[in-house]
Every structure is written in structure tokens, then in C-alpha cells.
Structure 1
Amino acid sequence: MRWNLKPVQNSENVQTLSQALHVDPIIAQLLIERNIDSFDKAKQFFRPSLDELHDPFLMKDMEKAVTRIEQAIAQEENILVYGDYDVDGTTSVALMSSYLKTIHPAIATYIPDRYAEGYGVSYMGIDYASDNDITLIIALDCGVKAIDKVAYAKEKGIDFIICDHHRPGPQLPDAIAVLDPKREDCEYPYDELCGCGVGFKLISALSRKRNQPFSELHPYLDLVATAIGADIVPITGENRILAYYGLEVINTAPRAGFKAIIHQLKKDTLTITDVVFIIAPRINAAGRMKHGNHAVALLIEEDDHTAQNYAVEIEQYNSDRKEADKAITEEALVQIQKNNETERKTTVVYQEDWHKGVIGIVASRLTETYYRPTLVFTKSGENLAASARSVKGFDVYNALHQCEEFIEQFGGHKYAAGLTLKEENYEAFKQRFEEVVKASCEERLLIPEITIDAKINLTDITPKFYRILKQFAPFGPGNMKPTFMTENLVDTGYGKKVGADESHLKVTVTQNNTGPRIGGIGFGLGNAYDLISNKKPFSAAYVLDENTWNGEVSLQLRIKDIK
């Protein structure tokens, strides 16, 4: 791995902030790296406040959206809440539909079928609305590129309000309102909201118009926090505030669906990491293996017993998902080796019977293995469908844009995208994608990088230091858990390979053979045992963690790499 040590901040600024906050200079440096360089900014960071959220009416078209919904309520129209089958989509539908039901009875929900309809707004969904006398569709986490679909709906007398966070194309759909902070002409101060976040801004605007106290919206924040974590948006600005308070709801007053999932875990307090790796995959599994409607049903259910039954069902989908993901990953790895494709700058694989619901996860696994921009294709109706994943620093969305001549449709973000193409274009696309990446991706980006926040000594790791570090949470893009490096470490003789296949490394280290001892675990680092054996000095890149053993809690290094 490449170790990239962040430049040391201006020592005068560090010293000033350290004194103003009465914190260790290393903490001050970490704050300045996050553009927190004053007492007031630090106060905002460590004590996030819902009062700091921006006025929802600053978002372009918000007034139009609220006016149209109020009109629908006044005229007793049927409203359809439409969202995608992933976590951001299903949480958005749960949030919007459950809020609207408190003020209007005629609310229906719609999640497209991953296999029959695919991603985004579908003609089938619009036909469903037309057949059920629905005259307003609120689309969440999708729709900003659905120009033809929105026009089709308009012909049928159906209006659209779009709440999206994806990059718009050159033309916007002819909707009543397009709420998307990434619109060029939108001056909303924060443009990194997820789809559920945009939905939350809409219900905030509606509730303000209706003179409802903002506190009535607090119970919806658990959905927003889950979407923020699952959609890998930056946990900065508004997202950090929403995630912070959403986690508080999850841990103190979770909705029945979350309670049912958490009930199966033996954890007191959930972090954003738990939400991403425990709650989100289960919500996602419904859309991957069966239908996203199951996830929405779990999220809006108010009866604990019924929610428990839904959670058991979803647990089974998650087990099925794990099995499919493992089997397809193994088949893809065999295909790459067999076709001798490890020298390419990209990983592109295809098998027609691979489960469409898990190809995104498989793409992530292959990216971890070969560290290349990756596409996993499967057959989807007449076409092939793929999930794309990228490596840090390389924009796969832009790369796909340069292969547009071979693609039927595509959408997504810098690091994750989806696309469809005709089978006869597969080989030409594969070749073109390789050429684009080869020409535009710097070689260094194809070596995994560890960004190190600061070089520290073991003596710097005190209970107070860790207590303040914990308050940097919730962690995520834009506010990652700080990674440290320490040099001249020596294992005290207890180092060993652990795990069923001895793939992990467990150590107890000191620095320069003196001072405090601290335990460490390196997952997947069993091969590094020779580097630390026989008291050979080494450097480690790590994050600080708590280890609970027999009821005792101690600090440990979770080692990412060793040199």
C-alpha cells in the first residue's frame, strides 16, 4: 500500500487552536485538517445543532413543490411516493409516505422491480399511477434524468415532483419541481445531501408551511441517518448534523423496524459503521433478492410484533444475498485468472446467470482484490446490466461518459454507477473502457492508498486523547476515522497469526522497547508476521479502537498496514 502522510499543519495555528480548546496539539491538527480552525467552528463540530440546518426554501423549486402538494391535499388527489429499491430509495419512500399520511389519507407507495423495471422512474410505475387515478408522483432518489418518463406522465395528466441528488444531465425533466442541490442553478448552500436528505428538506418545508413544530420531524431522522451512511455521501455540514441526531434516534427511540433488526444484535449503542454494515445490508437485501416493497413495509410498520416478522423474513433475504455474493465472486475471480486479465487496468466480467441483485457487491469485492475500476455484467431482459465501482481518486462516471456510444443508459456517482448496454456492444465497450482508463487513470491510483492523518507516539495515546477522538464521530467520507502512524514499534513476543486460516495478525507492542504496551489486531495481515517476529522494529498505520474482552474494555490499534 502507498502511505500518504498529510502535510503537518502550520504549527502556530495548531498551537493557537490547541490552547483555545485545551486539547492536545494532535487533536488541533486533526481539526484544522477538517477546516475547523476556530473555537466557534469546533463548538459546531463537537456539538452539532439542528438549528444549524439550512432553510429548506433556499433549495430551487421548493416553493413550487410545497404549493403543488398543498393543492393535492386541498383537492383530495391521490399521491404516489416513488423511490428506488436501494437503501436511500426505500428510506426516502418510508420517510415521505409516513409523513404525508399524517396530513393526507390518499397516499400510495411504489418501488420499481429491480428485474422487471430496473433503476429509476419506469413506464410501468407511471401506468400504475394512471390506472389508480393518481395525479401527483413524488419521486425520491431518482428522476433527475427521467425526461421521457416525466413527459409520458404529463400526457396522462400526472404531475411530477422530483427529489434527487444525482448529477442532472444537460436538460431537466418537465416536472412541477426538481429539487436537486446539484442543479447548476440551485444556490442551496450544501450540495452533498442524499436522496432521503432531499426528501427530509421537503417535509421540513411542508411542516413549516403548516406551522408544525420542527420537533415533530425528529422521529424521521433515523431513516435519514441510515441513508447517509448507506449511500456513502460525505459526513460533513448538514449530513453530519442529520447523521448525529439520526443515530441518537436509532439508539434511544428506534422505529419498530429498526428495533426488530437491532433486537437480533447484542449491541448497546450503534455507530454509523453499525448502521452501514448491519442495518443497511438488511434493508438492501429485500430489493436485491425479492422486492424493495418488503423494506418499505418494515420501515413504516408501527406494530412491534409485525415488524419482528418482517425482520425475520429480511434476515433470510440477507442470508441468501451473502451466499449468492460469495458464489459469484468466486466465479468472477476464476474468470479473470482463466482469461489472464490481471494485467489490464480495468476489471470487466460477465456471466448471463449472475444475480442482478448482488453484482454491485461483487464489483466492490473485485475492486478490493485487484484495485482497478471494475464492472460486473449480467443478463437483464434483452440487454446486459452492470454495476461499476472505482478506486479512490478516479471518476468512473466520467469514464463511462466517454464510452457513451456503446451504452444504452447509465447513471451514478464518481465511485459507483450502473449501466445497461446491448449484448453485441459488450466487447467493444470493454475495449473502449480499458482504453479510457489506461489514458486517464494515473498509475499510482491503482495502488491502494492509506491516508495518514498524523505521526504520533504511543505515549500520545491517553484516555483523554481517545475520549476526544470519539467525539469526532459520526465518521464517514469527509470525516474519516483518523489514521495514525507510529515508527519503531517492537512486538513484545506475543505476536501471532490468528483466525481459522491464520490470515490475521495479533500483536502487543511497545515503542523503542520502552514505555506503554498496547495490543493490536491486523485483519488480513497474517502474511506480515515475518516483519514483526524476533523483535524486528517496524512502522504501523492504524486507527484506534476499543477492544472488549471478558467485560474489560481496553484500547487497541486496528492495524491497516505494516512496513
Structure 2
Amino acid sequence: MRWTLKPKPEPNKVAELSAALQVEPVLATLLLQRGIETFEEARDFFRPDLSKLHDPLLMKDMHKAVERIEKAIANEENILVYGDYDVDGTTSVALVSSFLKSFYPQVSTYIPDRYDEGYGISYKGIDFADDNDFNLIIALDCGIKAIDKVKYASEKNIDFIICDHHRPGEHIPPAVAVLDPKREDCEYPYKELCGCGVGFKLVQALAHRRGLTIDDLFLYLDLVVTAIAADIVPITGENRILAYYGLKVINSNPRPGIKAILQQLNKSSFTITDVVFIIAPRINAAGRMKHGNHAVALLSETNIDLATDYAREIEIFNSDRKDADKQITLEALEQIKELKEEGKKTTVVYNENWHKGVIGIVASRLTETYYRPTLVFTRSGDKLAASARSVKGFDVYNALEECAGLIEQFGGHKYAAGLTLLEKDYDAFKAEFERVVSSTIDPALLTPELRIDSELDFNDITPRFYRILKQFAPFGPGNLNPVFMTAEVKDTGAGRCVGEDKSHLRLVVKQDHSRPVTGIGFGLGEKETIACSGDYFKIAYSINENEWNGNISLQLKIKDIKP
């Protein structure tokens, strides 16, 4: 890993903010690095406030969307709430459909089949709407590029409202309303909402029309935080406010579906990390292994007994997903060894039998292993489908755009995308993708970077320090859990490799003048020779709480160790 120490803010600014907030200089430094320079900005950061959410009517086409939904209700039209099969899509569908159903019964939901219909709006979904007398489709977390599909629907007298957060193409679909803060002609102040976040803004606008307040929408925020966490959008601005209060709902009064997932765990409180690694994979597993409808049913259910049954079913899907993911990752790693493409700047693998539902996870694992922009292909009908993942700092979406002549369809974000192409174009695409990446990527980006917020003395790690540090949460892109570095560290003699395969490293370390501190480095077993040799070393880490036998203590979560 490359260790990069973030630039230090101006000393006078650190001193001023430290004095104003009565906190240690290192905490003031962390705030300044996040663009927080005044007492008032710090107050807003530490005390997120739902009243600070932007007016949803600032979003382009929001008036039109609200008017069309109100017209549908007045005319007793059937409304179809349509969404993608991943976490962002299924939470969006559960959110908008549940809200509408609270005062209007003629609402149904539709999730496309990952394998039969693929990503986004499908002709099959439009035909379903036509066959079942739906005059209005509200599309969530998809649709921003569905120009032909929207035209096809209009020929059948079906209107579309699109709520998306992906980057638009050159043209906007001819829908009744297209809500997407990334539209160039949209002046909405916050651009980084997830799909469920855009759906929430629609609900907020509808609620306002009906005389409801933000307090009436509080119970939906467990869905919004789940989507924010799963979709890896920045935890800044509105996302931070929505995530903060969404976690409050999860920890106090979650909907039965989320409660049913969490009650299988022996934990009393849940962080955004738990949402990422516990709740989101289970919701995703439904669409990956079976059908996204199972996730919507779980998230919309109001009866805890039924929700518990759904959660048990989804637990089986998740177990199957883990097995498939593990097996395909092993096969992909073996294929990479056989290809012997060490000099390449990309990783591209293909097997027609790989499960389409887990290739995104496998792409992430390969990116972690080889640290290259990565594509994992499988067969999907008469085409090949791939999931793309990138390394920090490299825009894989832009790279795919450069290869558009060889791609049938693609969409996504800077670091994650999906695409389909014809099998005859696979080899040419693979070569072109390698050419584009090789010619545009900064070679330094091919070595993982560990960004360090600040140096820290072990004696500064006190309960009060950690109490304030905890208030920087929820963590995520744009507000990552702070990473510290301490030099001149020595093992006290208690350091050892732990775990079934001895791949983890447990240390008790100290500086010459400090008390001992315990740390755990997952996957850092090979660093034992550096840490346990008796020599001084430097250590990079975040700080967290360790709960063991009812006792809670502070520990270092070790990121890396260097001589």
C-alpha cells in the first residue's frame, strides 16, 4: 500500500476551531479536512437536522410528477411502481408503493427478472402494465436512458415518471417527468442522492401536497439508509442527514422486514457498517439468486410473523449466494493465472456458466486481489453480460464510454457499471478496454492507496476522544472513518497470528511513553515478521470498540504496518 498523509490544515485554523469547539487539535484537523471551518458548520455536522433537507420542488420536473400522480388518483387510474432488482431499486419500490398505498389502493409493484429481462425498464414490464390496465408507471433507480422503452409505452397510452440518479445520456427520455439530480438542466442543490433518495424526494413532495410533514415520513428512513449504504453514495449533505436518522429508525423501530433480518443477530445496536454487511447483502440476495419480488415483499410486509418467514427464505438465498460467489471467485482467480497477463492494466475474465447474480461481487473481489479495473463476464441469453468494478481514482464508466462501439448497452457509476455485448465482439472489446485503460490511467492508481488523516499519539486515545470521534459517523464515501498513523511503535511481546488459518494479526503495542493499546489486523498475518521482531515500526489504523463477554474496550483496527 501507498501511505498518503492528507495535507495539514493551516495551524491558526486548527487552533481557532479547536478553541471554539473545546476539542483536541487532532479532532479540529479532521473537521477542517472535511471542509468544516466554523462552529455553526460543526454543529450542523454533529447534529444533522431533517429540517435542513432541500425543498423537493427544487428538483426539475417535480411539479409535473406530483401533478400526474394526483391526476391518476383523482381519475382512479392503476399505478405501477417499477424498480431495479438490487437494494437501491427494491427499497425504492417498497418506499414509494408503501407510501402511496397508505392513502390509495390501486397501486402495484413490478421488479424485472434479472435473467429474463435484465437491468432497467423492459418491454416485458411495459406489456405487463398494458395487459393489466396500468396507465402510469413510476420507475425508480432506472430509466434515465430508456428512450425507446418510454416511446413504446406512450404508444400504449402509458405514462412514465422516471426517478433515477444515474448519469443521463445525450437525450432525456420523453416521459411525463424525469427526476434526476444529475440532469444538466436540474438545479437541485444536492447531486449525490441514490435512487431511493430520489424516490424519497418524490414522496416528500407528495406528502407536502397532502399536508403531511417530514415527521410523518420518519418511518420510511430505514429504507433510505439501507439504499444509501448499499449503493455506496457519498455520506455528505442530504445523504448524511437521511442516513443519520435512518439509523435511528433501524435502532429504535425498524419495519418488520428489517427487524426480521436483525433479530437473527446477537447485537443491541447497529451502525451503517452493519447495514452494508448484514442487511444489504440479504436484500440483494433475493434478486441475485431468485427474484427481487421477494425483497419487496419482505420490505413492505407489516406483519412480523410473515416478515420472519420471508427473512428465513432470504437467508437461504444469501447462503446460496455466498457459495456461488466463493466458487466463482476461485475459478476466476485460476483463469487469471492461466491467462498469464501480468503486464496488463485490466482484469477481464469470462465463463458462460458463471451465475449472473454474483459476478458483481466476484468483480469486487478480483479488484481487491489484483487492484486493476475489472470486468467479469457470463452468458445472458444470446449475449454476454458483465459487471465492472474500478480502482480508486479511475472512472470505469468513462472508459466503457470510449468502448461504446463494441457494447450493446451499458450504465452505472464511476466505480461500478454493467454492460452487455455480442459474443463475437468479446475479444475486440477486451483488447479495446485494455487499450483505453492503459492509455488513460495514472500508473500510481494501480497500487492501493491508504489515505491517512492525521498522526496520533497513543496517549491521545481516551474515552472522551473516542466519544467525539463516534459522532463523525455515519461513515462512508466523502466522510470515511478516520485513519491515523503512529510511528515509533513496539510490540509488548503479546503479538501473535490468530484465526483458524492464522491469517489475522493481534497485537498489544505501545510507544516508549504510552500505555499499551490492543489492535487487530484482519488479513495482516504476513506482517508478523515486522511487528513481532522487537524492532520499532509504524502503524496505520482506525479506532473502534471491541465488545467481548459484555465488556467494551477501545481497540485499533489495523490497516497496515511498515518497518
TM-score (norm 1): 0.99
Find the residue that maps to 1:323 and give its secondary structure.
helix
CA contact (8 A) 2:389 2:417 kept: yes
Find the residue that maps to 1:206 and give its secondary structure.
helix
Residue identity in the other structure for 1:449: E
Q: Distance in 2 between matches of 1:223 and 1:515?
A: 44
Find the residue that maps to 1:112 and give its secondary structure.
coil
Residue identity in the other structure for 1:338: E
Q: Distance in 2 between matches of 1:533 and 1:281?
A: 37
Determine if the alignment matches structure 1 residue 450 to structure 2 residue 450. Answer: yes
Determine if the alignment matches structure 1 residue 156 to structure 2 residue 162. Answer: no
- Measure how far apart 1:32 and its partner are: 0.5
Residue identity in the other structure for 1:350: Y
Correspondence for 1:167: 167
- Measure how far apart 1:462 and its partner are: 1.1
Determine if the alignment matches structure 1 residue 243 to structure 2 residue 238. Answer: no
Residue identity in the other structure for 1:322: K
Residue identity in the other structure for 1:57: L
Matches within 5 A, 1:536-547: 536-547=535-546
Correspondence for 1:119: 119
Correspondence for 1:190: 190
- Measure how far apart 1:501 and its partner are: 1.1
Q: Distance in 2 between matches of 1:214 and 1:502?
A: 50
Q: Distance in 2 between matches of 1:412 and 1:418?
A: 6
Find the residue that maps to 1:515 and give its secondary structure.
coil
Correspondence for 2:326: 326
Find the residue that maps to 1:535 and give its secondary structure.
coil
Q: Distance in 2 between matches of 1:515 and 1:213?
A: 52
Q: Distance in 1 between matches of 2:506 and 2:290?
A: 40
Q: Distance in 2 between matches of 1:515 and 1:350?
A: 53
Q: Distance in 1 between matches of 2:530 and 2:548?
A: 27
Residue identity in the other structure for 1:520: G
Correspondence for 2:26: 26
- Measure how far apart 1:549 and its partner are: 2.0
- Measure how far apart 1:344 and its partner are: 1.2
Deviations 1:327-373 (A, max 9, x none): 00000000000111232110000000000000000000000000000
Residue identity in the other structure for 1:93: V
Q: Distance in 2 between matches of 1:483 and 1:343?
A: 32
CA contact (8 A) 1:484 1:541 kept: yes
Deviations 1:446-493 (A, max 9, x none): 000100000111111111111000000000000000000000000000
Deviations 1:50-73 (A, max 9, x none): 000000000000000000000000
Find the residue that maps to 1:516 and give its secondary structure.
coil
Segment drifting more, 391-400 vs 503-512:
503-512
Correspondence for 1:222: 222
Q: Distance in 1 between matches of 2:549 and 2:221?
A: 35
Find the residue that maps to 1:68 and give its secondary structure.
helix
CA contact (8 A) 1:399 1:437 kept: yes
Q: Distance in 1 between matches of 2:39 and 2:294?
A: 46
Correspondence for 1:562: 561
Residue identity in the other structure for 1:16: E
Q: Distance in 1 between matches of 2:124 and 2:209?
A: 33
Correspondence for 2:80: 80
Determine if the alignment matches structure 1 residue 110 to structure 2 residue 110. Answer: yes
Residue identity in the other structure for 1:238: E
Instruction: Give RMSD over aligned pairs.
Output: 0.6
Q: Runs of at least 4 residues of structure 1 off by over 4 A?
A: none
- Measure how far apart 1:534 and its partner are: 3.1
Q: Distance in 2 between matches of 1:269 and 1:371?
A: 34
CA contact (8 A) 2:247 2:271 kept: yes
CA contact (8 A) 2:489 2:510 kept: yes
Q: Distance in 2 between matches of 1:213 and 1:10?
A: 42
Correspondence for 2:258: 258
Determine if the alignment matches structure 1 residue 130 to structure 2 residue 130. Answer: yes
Deviations 1:7-64 (A, max 9, x none): 1110000100000000001000000111110000000000000000000000000000
Matches within 5 A, 1:358-507: 358-507=358-507
Find the residue that maps to 1:548 and give its secondary structure.
strand
Q: Distance in 2 between matches of 1:135 and 1:358?
A: 35
Q: Distance in 2 between matches of 1:336 and 1:213?
A: 55
Q: Distance in 1 between matches of 2:295 and 2:305?
A: 16
Q: Distance in 2 between matches of 1:213 and 1:378?
A: 47
Find the residue that maps to 2:516 and give its secondary structure.
strand
Matches within 5 A, 1:347-362: 347-362=347-362
CA contact (8 A) 2:399 2:436 kept: yes
CA contact (8 A) 1:14 1:29 kept: yes
Residue identity in the other structure for 1:458: F
Determine if the alignment matches structure 1 residue 517 to structure 2 residue 477. Answer: no
Q: Distance in 2 between matches of 1:325 and 1:341?
A: 23
- Measure how far apart 1:214 and its partner are: 2.3
- Measure how far apart 1:208 and its partner are: 0.4
Correspondence for 1:345: 345
Segment drifting more, 51-60 vs 528-537:
528-537
Q: Distance in 2 between matches of 1:9 and 1:273?
A: 29
Find the residue that maps to 2:377 and give its secondary structure.
strand
- Measure how far apart 1:277 and its partner are: 0.4
Find the residue that maps to 1:245 and give its secondary structure.
helix
Q: Distance in 1 between matches of 2:343 and 2:170?
A: 37
Residue identity in the other structure for 1:558: K
Q: Distance in 1 between matches of 2:340 and 2:397?
A: 26
Q: Distance in 2 between matches of 1:310 and 1:551?
A: 31
Deviations 1:476-527 (A, max 9, x none): 0000000000000000000111111111111000113x32110011111100
CA contact (8 A) 1:493 1:534 kept: no
Q: Distance in 2 between matches of 1:402 and 1:300?
A: 41
- Measure how far apart 1:104 and its partner are: 1.1
Q: Distance in 2 between matches of 1:217 and 1:495?
A: 50
Matches within 5 A, 1:282-321: 282-321=282-321
Correspondence for 1:270: 270
- Measure how far apart 1:550 and its partner are: 2.2
CA contact (8 A) 2:136 2:158 kept: yes
- Measure how far apart 1:551 and its partner are: 1.9
CA contact (8 A) 2:50 2:214 kept: no
TM-score (norm 2): 0.99
Find the residue that maps to 1:172 and give its secondary structure.
coil
Q: Distance in 2 between matches of 1:547 and 1:527?
A: 23
Correspondence for 2:54: 54
- Measure how far apart 1:552 and its partner are: 1.7
Segment drifting more, 319-328 vs 333-342:
333-342
Correspondence for 2:91: 91
